[in-house]
Structure 1
Amino acid sequence: MTTMVTRREMIQNLGGGIGALGLASLLATPSSAAPTGTHFAPRARRVIHLFMNGGPFGPDLLDPKPALHRFAGQRPAEVDLRTERQTAGLMPSPFRFRPCGQSGVQVSELLPRLATCIDDICVLRSVHTDNPNHGPALFLMNNGSVTPTRPSLGAWLSYGLGTENAELPGFVVLCPGRPVRFSELWTSGFLPSEHQGTYINHSDLDPQRMIPFLRNPSLSVAAQRRELDLLRTLNEEHRAERGPDPALEARIQTMETAYRMQSAASDAFDIRREPARTREMYGSGHFANACLLARRLAERGVRFTQIYYGNGQPWDTHNNHNEQVRGLARDIDQPIAALLTDLKQRGLLDDTLVIWGGEFGRTPTSESGNGRDHNHWGFTMWLAGAGVRGGMAYGSSDDFGFRAATDKVHIHDLHATILHLLGFDHERLTYRHAGRDYRLTDVHGEVVRPILT
């Protein structure tokens, strides 16, 4: 017996299988989704942002500070800076550094594999931000403001660039859990909702479990195709009777896109399809899997992929700092080196910008005996890939790694530089809201030109 369904039921059935990748934003009209276009020729076509949520300590990894040993336990005037919590004397980093690559940039023993890629990396040793608390610092790093009301960097890029692949989201967020402030970090804010990040918990490697409702369990793919064809016929009859309707055209195209996304997502998010040799190169664990996923998404046209290292704030080492950092560094070293190497071998690093860092750094002074507090005064990040001058360290922090000292890079400067590499004048990428033009960098920011090729 044939079961009759209404037009509304058909739409609901079709929508039930597009999963987390579908989003309500797929139903946006073309006018709201249209990219602004770049202002000049871009160096980068896409971004991979490796976010060490919690805040790493630069002098453990990429900013050696021998003075910490000479003044261990003391509190010179230079470290008399206000932090979130009270700290004691200087606590040296126990990890050795050596010059690496042809450039001779100093890299910690904690990152032996990343050291082999240092000639492709520009280390920023003088980054600073405005707030020592996780929430506001996360917002500033992601949204350009200490409040959660502004669009995120990925949303701005989606708004400006659009998508290269209509079958996948332009902005994907990977995390095996929930970072602090969760979806506020990848919000579209007042931009059209299709520009928000699509969050994927990649704890499970099976795309069917990784992405809820990826497929409609009540309909086969063939049945969905038949219903979609019937719906298209009904919509076309409606159009013939009533005349052209841009909104209706958008709905028809949206249903086709949602249908295609099911197979595209099943392929893109399934790292089990990678050769064993490639998976071994990246290593095991959630972060390694995310780095491999990021490469797969990059080669499939996803504009902005952001990886949060882990649930909560794993780099927030208020106690047992040295031991925690050993484990954290061990976990990121092989996957990041593999990602950079893999991108380079595939010719993708030339037009992919890779960003590494947290929302702030950590204090050179001790907290609770063997921990380190938050430090927004000066910290380390790095960039690699499209248009970035590799094999250099830019700027410097003071002798103890507490405060940015020379060639300071504020977060607004970092954002201006990222937008520049993607082909945008940060002062001209704007959106009209509530009677004024907004931009990612607000009224601040200068492009850091010495680090560009």
Structure 2
Amino acid sequence: MTTRRQALQIGGLATLGLSLPELIDADDRHAPPRRQKHARSCILFFMEGGPAHIDLWDPKPSAPVEIRGKYKPISTSIPGLQISERLPHWAPIMKHLSLVRSVSHNIVDHNASSYYTVTGQSPLRAGQLIRRPSRDNFPPIGSVLAHLKPTRQPLPDFIHIPQRMFNCGSFIPGQLGGFLGFPFDPFITGDPSSGNFQVPGLQRHPRLSAQRLDQRRNLLSRIRRDGPLDTLPVTAEFQGQYQRAYDLITSPQARRAFQLEDEPVGVRTRYGAFAAGRDSGKLAHLGSSLLLARRLIEAGVRLVTVWAGRQVFDTHRGHYAELDNVIGPPLDRAFSALVEDLAERGLLDETLVVALGEFGRTPRLGQITSSAGATADGRDHWARCYSVLLGGGPIPAGQLFGASDTLGAYPARNPVTPGDIAATIYQAMGLDPQRRLRDPLNRPHTLAAGNPITPLLGG
């Protein structure tokens, strides 16, 4: 693994006038034979905080009111499948998705559960929960894909919108390259809904001409080739990074991928992009973020994570006020627009779309399961049973897998874990989840601590 000190020894991209020191130099490794249809790209929509499965995708109309809540079920484009009336625009898109209603684990800590979700690995180490980032951590799915299935194109293979996830004074673990090293950290875009959106480091300095940039690049190449730096093992690791950073900053096609203003007004309106004045608060960015994700995978990016925001779905109090006024409208509008847009453009066949949180919320209103508690009109953390949605690529459309019990508290059939979900994502992206990835101490690790959900892969 490359240390920051070694990176500085090499000279970094500052010598070139660039500010992209952590772009991926992924190395093409032993891709498995194509035995089935695989997705080319993935959009992972992470609803951090824990969305309420009963109030969104797993309604319980026959349960007592303190469990079923205020929303009524509505029919969807899948015969016999109902979801909550809070998501009316999701009803027609369900024919493109598969719904898993039986995801289960036992960890109700946001940070540790998020690590489990985005890496597919147990968040327990030496009996302690992994709550903070470390370079010893297992890399997230996006970093592994960038490492094992690089695209070799100017845009980074792993992009995160809009910013790194954080909670309780710390970044959430599992977002960075972990033991693969910081070259496999995601590229962070910033908030695309902000005024004057500019991607950090994408623009050449106004006083640095293309000719001067080429001169600096050639000078750095000579220094690296002729000097002692060329003997450092880490030098080879950075050669591809330099080239990709240069390609990114000089590529008009790469820059265009980030230009949401190129989208027709009708498309932006459909997503709710730039709708901060109408969609209040925490999810105001969502339309712009999901639209940017579509543009990036269209431009060839391997995996894009869209983070909803810090504990947007963490409704310990005022649960229905949050769903009615803050969460529901942009969630309903933006994600349904993404799925419809991908389907209409013919991108859904090659794009895996995943919508998930780190856990769900308590079946009973006012039920307390964590130190944060819950008021009478709130739902606390609940990991014993919740829902995840997948679609596109090899995922069969319109499928329901698993079921919760009558209260939405525990799986009634086909329980699966976050490790199984991660294994399914890897398999859908053309990687064997049982493949071994070696850490800097040469210890082997399987890509996911779980097994693919075979029915979700057409098996």
For residue 122 of structure 2, what is the aligned residue in structure 1?
145
CA distance in 2, matches of 1:177, 1:235: 33
Contact 1:395/1:407 (<8 A) preserved: yes
Contact 1:413/1:447 (<8 A) preserved: yes
Which amino acid letter does the alignment assign opposite residue 45 of structure 2? L
Percent identical across equivalent pairs? 28
Give the SS at the match of 1:342.
Answer: helix
For residue 321 of structure 1, what is the aligned residue in structure 2?
319
Aligned-pair distance for 1:165? 4.4
Which amino acid letter does the alignment assign opposite residue 379 of structure 1? Y
For residue 278 of structure 2, what is the aligned residue in structure 1?
none
Bigger helix share = 1
CA distance in 2, matches of 1:421, 1:373: 32
**Are 2:455 and 1:450 equivalent residues in the alignment?**
yes
* Cα deviations by residue, 1:257-305 (Å, 9 ceiling, x for unpaired): 3222124443221211212222122113310001011011101111110
How do residues 78-97 of structure 1 correspond to structure 2 at under 5 angstroms? Answer: 90-97=66-73
Give the SS at the match of 2:45.
Answer: strand
Give the SS at the match of 2:306.
Answer: strand
Give the SS at the match of 1:194.
Answer: helix
For residue 335 of structure 1, what is the aligned residue in structure 2?
334
Contact 2:61/2:73 (<8 A) preserved: no
For residue 159 of structure 2, what is the aligned residue in structure 1?
172
Structure 2 stretches lacking a partner, 5+ long: 1-8, 124-129, 276-283, 367-374
For residue 143 of structure 2, what is the aligned residue in structure 1?
155
CA distance in 2, matches of 1:35, 1:360: 33
Give the SS at the match of 1:49.
Answer: strand
Q: TM-score, normalised by structure 1?
A: 0.83
CA distance in 2, matches of 1:136, 1:102: 34
Contact 1:105/1:391 (<8 A) preserved: no
For residue 364 of structure 1, what is the aligned residue in structure 2?
363
CA distance in 2, matches of 1:230, 1:44: 40
Which amino acid letter does the alignment assign opposite residue 44 of structure 1? A
Give the SS at the match of 1:216.
Answer: coil
For residue 28 of structure 2, what is the aligned residue in structure 1?
34
Aligned-pair distance for 1:203? 4.9
For residue 110 of structure 1, what is the aligned residue in structure 2?
86
**Are 2:246 and 1:259 equivalent residues in the alignment?**
yes
Aligned-pair distance for 1:183? 5.8
Contact 2:104/2:411 (<8 A) preserved: yes
* Cα deviations by residue, 1:160-195 (Å, 9 ceiling, x for unpaired): 212x24311111111357433536331211124322
Q: 225-234 or 151-160, which moves further after superposition? A: 225-234
Aligned-pair distance for 1:392? 2.1
Count of residues in correspondence between the two structures: 414
**Are 2:31 and 1:66 equivalent residues in the alignment?**
no
Contact 1:126/1:409 (<8 A) preserved: yes
Structure 1 stretches lacking a partner, 5+ long: 1-7, 73-89
Pick from 41, 44, 51: which aligns with 1:46? 41
Aligned-pair distance for 1:414? 1.0
* Cα deviations by residue, 1:353-395 (Å, 9 ceiling, x for unpaired): 1000110000011221100000000001110111112212211
Give the SS at the match of 1:169.
Answer: coil
For residue 369 of structure 2, what is the aligned residue in structure 1?
none
Give the SS at the match of 2:391.
Answer: strand
What root-mean-square deviation, in Å, do the aligned CA atoms of Structure 1 and Structure 2 show? 3.0
Which amino acid letter does the alignment assign opposite residue 28 of structure 2? A
CA distance in 1, matches of 2:395, 2:346: 15
Q: 261-270 or 200-209, which moves further after superposition? A: 200-209
Q: Which has the larger radius of gyration?
A: 1
CA distance in 2, matches of 1:243, 1:430: 27
Aligned-pair distance for 1:412? 1.3
Aligned-pair distance for 1:243? 11
How do residues 176-215 of structure 1 correspond to structure 2 at under 5 angstroms? Answer: 178-180=165-167, 181-182=170-171, 184-203=173-192, 205=194, 209-212=198-201, 214-215=203-204
For residue 375 of structure 1, what is the aligned residue in structure 2?
382
CA distance in 1, matches of 2:180, 2:234: 19
CA distance in 2, matches of 1:198, 1:183: 16
